[in-house]
Chains A and B, each alone.
Chain A
C-alpha cells in the first residue's frame, strides 16, 4: 500500500563496496562537500555514495560514511573525486542503533533523504532525481534531512 518493501530495501547494511572514491589516474578531480541541515542534535547519519544507477538500485555503494550528529547541521567532505555522476542517500539514525527503524508496516520512522533533496513516491527517490554531476573543482550538495520542505 504505502512504502513497504521499497523502503525496507533501503535499510543500510554498510556492506558498501570498499572502493576508493578517487582515481589516482584522473587528470583533474573534484572536491565534494555535502551539507546536511534540519537535523535533530543526536545519533548519527548513515550516508552512502553511488556512482551508477545499477549500484544505486541494488544498494551497492561506492563508499559510505557514518557521521556523529551533535548539532542541527553537519558537513561531509570527499576529496579528489573523479568527475562524473553520483547520487547520495542517507538516513538519520536518531537512536544510534545502526538501523533505519520502521513502524510495524515497514514505513521508516527515522528521517531519510537523498541528493538534490529528491523525494520518492512510495519508496526511495529515483536515480534520475537524485543524480548530480561532480565536476573538477569544488562541488556542494545541501540536503535537508528534516523532511517536509
Chain B
C-alpha cells in the first residue's frame, strides 16, 4: 500500500495513529524491561561457555558477534536519567567449532573512570542533568561509548554519537582510549551509525545543532574528507542512510529548540511540521533536494538504494511521536516500562519529481537490519526485532510483501539480529541471522542463529549464558 503525505495524515487521524495498527497492543501486557537495566558487574564477564539449549550450530558459522549498549545505570545514591546514558558495555558472543562463548567488558571511558572513582553519577548526558560540579571541557569527557560497535581494520570501535570513537582490542575487549580521527577534528561528533560501502569506504555524520560534519573515511579509518553542512532544522538525527550516489539525511520534527540540561528537555515535538528528508549528491554536497513526509518519529533506518529511474527508497521504523525517547526511556530507569507502542517498519519512497510517499508494512519492531554487503544497493529483505507487547523477530520482503515471523514468547526481550553471510553464498536469503535475547524467565542472556530464509521455523541453534547481561543497542559481526 502506498500513501501520499496527505492521505497518510488522514490515515493516521482515522486510525488513531500508527500504534493502532499494531498486533494486539491493547490487550497484551508490556514486557518488563527491568532485568535489562540492571548494572552489569563492574569487572564485566570473563569469557565463559554458553550452554547449547536448542538445535545445533550450522556448519561454517564461525566468528564473533560484538554488541554494545548501556550497562551501568545507578550508584547507591544516584542514577542516570535516561537509558541512553548508561556506560558502554561491550559484549562478544564468539562461535567456533559449534560452540559459543560470551564475554563482556565496560568501555574504560573518562566518564566511567570519574564516576566509578566517586561512586556517583556526575556526567551530564542526553537525558541526565549531571552533577553541578561536573567538569566538561570536551564532549569526550562525557562520552559514554555506549551505542554501537564496528570493526575498522583490527580495531573494534565503540561508538557514541556526540563525540569520538573509542578504540578497543577485539580479542580482550580492553580499551585503549579515544581514537583520534584527525588532530584538527578532535572532539567532533561521530554518530553510532556509520555506513560502510561494499568497497569498505566509511561514511558518517556528526550532528551539532543545525550543523553537521560529513565524514568520509577509508576502510582503515583514515579521514579522506570531512565537510561541514548547514541543516534545514535542528532535528534529532540518530541514524541516516546512503545510496551509491547520495547521502540521505532524515530530518524529523523533534527539534532541539533550547539549550538546557538535560539535553533531551530542549527538544520539542512539532507535529505540525513535516518529516523532511535531505538528499545530497555524494560528489557535491551543494547539490541537494528536500523531500517532505508526514510528521513521525524514528531512530533507525534500514538502508537506502536508488533505482535506474532515480527513485530512492529507504526503510525506517517509526512511531507517531517522540514519547519513547523523551519520556519512556527515562522512566525505564526507575522500572516504569512506559506505554510507547512498537515502531512500524515503513518504506520511504523519494521520487525524481520531488514527490515522496510512505509504504507501510504492518510489521512492527526496531533495530532494522539488512545484508550489509548490499549497503546502498538494491535489496529485498529487512529484519526487525520486536521487544514490546510481543517478542518477535520478523523478516520483511519488500519485493514480494511476504513476511516471516518467529515469536519467542513472553519473558524474552529480543535484540538486534545481524545478517551473517553463509560461506561462499551471495544471496540475501543465503544468510544466517545472529542475535541475542534476554530471557527474563531463565534469568539468562541467549544467543540465537536463524536461517534468514526461514525465520518462522525458529532458531537453528540457541545458547544460554549462566547469567543475564544488560540489553544492548547495536552490534557487528566479524567472521573468523
Query: In the assembly, what is the distance between CA of A112 and CA of B141, in Å?
Result: 14
Query: In the assembly, what is the distance between CA of A112 and CA of B186, in Å?
Result: 14
A31 lies within 8 A of chain B by Cβ: no
Which residues of B in the span 194-217 have a Cβ within 8 Å of any Cβ on A? 208-209, 211, 213
Q: Do B209 and A104 touch (CB < 8 A)? A: no
Q: Do A107 and B211 touch (CB < 8 A)? A: no
Q: A1-B259, A104-B228 are in contact. Are A121 and B188 (CB under 8 A)?
A: no
Which residues of chain B have C-beta atoms less than 8 A from A3's C-beta? 136-138
Total number of residue pairs linking A and B with CB closer than 8 Å: 59
Which residues of chain B have C-beta atoms less than 8 A from A107's C-beta? 138-139, 186-188
Query: In the assembly, what is the distance between CA of A147 and CA of B137, in Å?
Result: 9
Q: A1-B263, A148-B110 are in contact. Are A103 and B185 (CB under 8 A)?
A: yes
A2 lies within 8 A of chain B by Cβ: yes
Query: In the assembly, what is the distance between CA of A2 and CA of B123, in Å?
Result: 13
Write the A103-124 contact mask toward B (1 if CB under 8 angstroms, else 0). Answer: 1110111001000000111100
Which residues of chain A have C-beta atoms less than 8 A from B134's C-beta? 121
Quick one: which of A101, A121, A147 has the most chain B CB within 10 A?
A121
B183 lies within 8 A of chain A by Cβ: yes
Smallest CB separation, A44 vs chain B (Å): 17
Q: A101-B184, A103-B185 are in contact. Are A2 and B211 (CB under 8 A)?
A: no
Query: In the assembly, what is the distance between CA of A108 and CA of B188, in Å?
Result: 10
Q: Do A109 and B184 touch (CB < 8 A)? A: yes
B3 lies within 8 A of chain A by Cβ: no
Smallest CB separation, A88 vs chain B (Å): 16
Q: A112-B137, A119-B135 are in contact. Are A103 and B209 (CB under 8 A)?
A: no
Query: In the assembly, what is the distance between CA of A148 and CA of B139, in Å?
Result: 13
Q: Do A109 and B186 touch (CB < 8 A)? A: yes
Smallest CB separation, B164 vs chain A (Å): 11
Which residues of chain A have C-beta atoms less than 8 A from B228's C-beta? 104
Q: Do A109 and B187 touch (CB < 8 A)? A: yes
Query: In the assembly, what is the distance between CA of A120 and CA of B124, in Å?
Result: 13
Q: Do A120 and B137 touch (CB < 8 A)? A: yes
Instruction: Place the interface of chain B in its size category.
Output: 20 to 34
Checking B113, B138, B213 against A104 with a beta-carbon cut-off of 8 angstroms, the contacting residue is B213
Of all chain A residues, the one with the shortest Cβ separation from B139 is A2
Q: Do A119 and B188 touch (CB < 8 A)? A: no
Q: Do A1 and B137 touch (CB < 8 A)? A: no
Which residues of B in the span 127-160 have a Cβ within 8 Å of any Cβ on A? 134-139, 141
Q: Do B188 and A104 touch (CB < 8 A)? A: yes
Q: Do A121 and B213 touch (CB < 8 A)? A: no
Q: A104-B228, A122-B136 are in contact. Are A1 and B184 (CB under 8 A)?
A: no
Q: A1-B208, A103-B187, A105-B211 are in contact. Are A119 and B137 (CB under 8 A)?
A: yes
Smallest CB separation, B41 vs chain A (Å): 25
Query: In the assembly, what is the distance between CA of A135 and CA of B136, in Å?
Result: 31
Smallest CB separation, A96 vs chain B (Å): 14
Write the A90-109 contact mask toward B (1 if CB under 8 angstroms, else 0). Answer: 00000000000101110111
Which residues of chain B have C-beta atoms less than 8 A from A101's C-beta? 184
Quick one: which of A103, A109, A112, A121 has the most chain B CB within 10 A?
A103
Query: In the assembly, what is the distance between CA of A7 and CA of B208, in Å?
Result: 16
Smallest CB separation, A64 vs chain B (Å): 21
Write the B161-192 contact mask toward A (1 if CB under 8 angstroms, else 0). Answer: 01000000000000000000001111111000
Query: In the assembly, what is the distance between CA of A119 and CA of B110, in Å?
Result: 14
Query: In the assembly, what is the distance between CA of A2 and CA of B162, in Å?
Result: 9
Checking B136, B162, B263 against A120 with a beta-carbon cut-off of 8 angstroms, the contacting residue is B136
Which residues of chain B have C-beta atoms less than 8 A from A109's C-beta? 183-187
Task: List 7 additional contacts besides A105-B188, A120-B136, A147-B137; criterion CB under 8 Å.
Answer: A2-B136, A2-B208, A103-B185, A105-B189, A107-B187, A109-B185, A120-B135
Q: List 22 A-B contacts (CB under 8 A).
A: A1-B208, A1-B256, A1-B259, A1-B263, A2-B138, A101-B184, A103-B184, A103-B185, A103-B186, A103-B188, A105-B187, A105-B211, A107-B187, A107-B188, A109-B187, A112-B137, A119-B135, A119-B136, A119-B137, A121-B135, A121-B136, A147-B137
Question: Nearest 3 CB-CB pairs, A to B?
Answer: A119-B135, A109-B186, A107-B187
